[in-house]
Structure 1
Amino acid sequence: MKRSSATSQAAVTRLARAVSILGHPMLVMPLAAWLATRNRHADAATASPVLAAIAALGLLVLAYSASRVRGGHWQHVDASAPGERRGLNVFLLGLFVLAAALAAWLSGHSPITIALLLAAAVILLALLTAAWCKLSLHVAFACFAIFVPGNLAVAAGMAILAIAVAWSRRVLGRHDRRDILVGALAGIVAGILFQTL
């Protein structure tokens, strides 16, 4: 019986890890952007630069995280320790502010500019609330992604993904309930603002 329970727990942990990886903000937000461009019937000439920019941001974050691990500053690219998270969030804030400024310069008041500014605001909130909670960026961006595509069926699918991501982060012990709720609230507010701005 004990062995069966351990096997079941290991399977749940593997599933949670897979959901957490699939629900990573650098996968969820590009997917939401791609779905939004498809929903708006944008041509490839419009969609490609947006997706390339998001992919470039993701690669920069991955390169930064990998360099921190290789340099011995972090234990894991997940940046779970408080000092690691602060460093990552400061880097992300700067990156998203610069990306939003570049997007504004190139395309003015566009959806990508607004999304980048709101992403920066979520990161800033994570920094400002760090003494009180470890805001789940996975959950925040999964909830934000619900509002990006502009299609009810896709939004429902994204909402299911956001719930699964919240579950996975809890099962993996990355966040407590407060971290997940604050992350969800931040993402929902960002998503509503994205729809209204």
Structure 2
Amino acid sequence: MSSGSGSGSDVRVARALSILGHPALLMPGAVVWASIARNAPPSVLFTAASASVFVALCVGVYSAVQVRAGRWAHVDASVPRERGQLNLFLALLLFGTAGALWWSGQPRPVFLGLVLGGGLVVAGHLLRRWLKVSLHAGFAVFAAGLSWPGPVAFGLLALAVGVCWSRLVLRRHTLAEVVVGFVAGGVAGFGFHLCAA
């Protein structure tokens, strides 16, 4: 996939960064921090965190079931057919959860993050014929955008750069796929602040 390669220690560090920066782990934390930074009431903080964890758990269960049933080779869904199925499931889940939160009268930032996350997945899905957009990179940058401004955002941005590096070292993506994911995540983060104000 990628022209990048690394030593054994590079690969170990890259695996650790890739796990730490996995959207299912990173996004719930970023959502909680963003809610705290915006002085969200406890009920809103609980709803935002619960929705984020719910999405992460649903994706984890869906991927595990696909592998256990023999329909997927790995939970990473690296094969194009598998990745397409995951993208569609994830987009519907994000948009559906956002719709439920909107219908229940939650504040705009609570459901807007899910909508933009769904948009990020759809963008990657639409570009799948030409490249496999790195959603690891995209969601890592989006997490930093949710936490912007402040020291946490800079820490998450540094992690995002590490995640991008890890995807190259592990040969999960090409440089172009990582760059497109990084830019798409930045657009989603900018869109969040533009629309949540």
- Preserved contact between residue 135 and residue 181 of structure 2 (Cα < 8 Å): yes
Residues 144, 52 of structure 1: alpha-carbon distance in 2 compared, 3 angstrom cutoff: same
Q: Which runs of 5+ in 2 are unaligned?
A: 1-5
Deviations 1:107-143 (A, max 9, x none): 3551121111111111111111000110000000011
Q: Which amino acid aligns with 2:166?
A: S
**Matches of 1:38 and 1:146 in 2, distance apart?**
14
**Matches of 1:51 and 1:158 in 2, distance apart?**
18
RCO higher in 1 or 2 (8 Å CA, sep ≥ 6)?
2
Stretch of structure 1 that moved more, 160-169 or 29-38? 29-38
Instruction: Report the alpha carbon displacement of residue 47 of structure 1 after superposing the two structures with TM.
Output: 1.0
From 39, 42, 54, the equivalent of 1:41 is 39
Aligned residue pairs, count: 190
- Preserved contact between residue 90 and residue 121 of structure 2 (Cα < 8 Å): yes
From 129, 132, 142, the equivalent of 2:130 is 132
Deviations 1:82-126 (A, max 9, x none): 111111001111111111111111135511211111111111111
- Preserved contact between residue 131 and residue 177 of structure 2 (Cα < 8 Å): yes
Larger radius of gyration: 1
Q: TM-score, normalised by structure 2?
A: 0.92
Q: TM-score, normalised by structure 1?
A: 0.92
- Preserved contact between residue 92 and residue 120 of structure 1 (Cα < 8 Å): yes
Secondary structure at the aligned position of 1:107 is classed as coil
**Matches of 1:180 and 1:109 in 2, distance apart?**
32
**Matches of 1:107 and 1:141 in 2, distance apart?**
26
- State the Cα RMSD in Å: 1.3
Q: Which runs of 5+ in 1 are unaligned?
A: 1-7
Instruction: Report the alpha carbon displacement of residue 42 of structure 1 after superposing the two structures with TM.
Output: 2.7
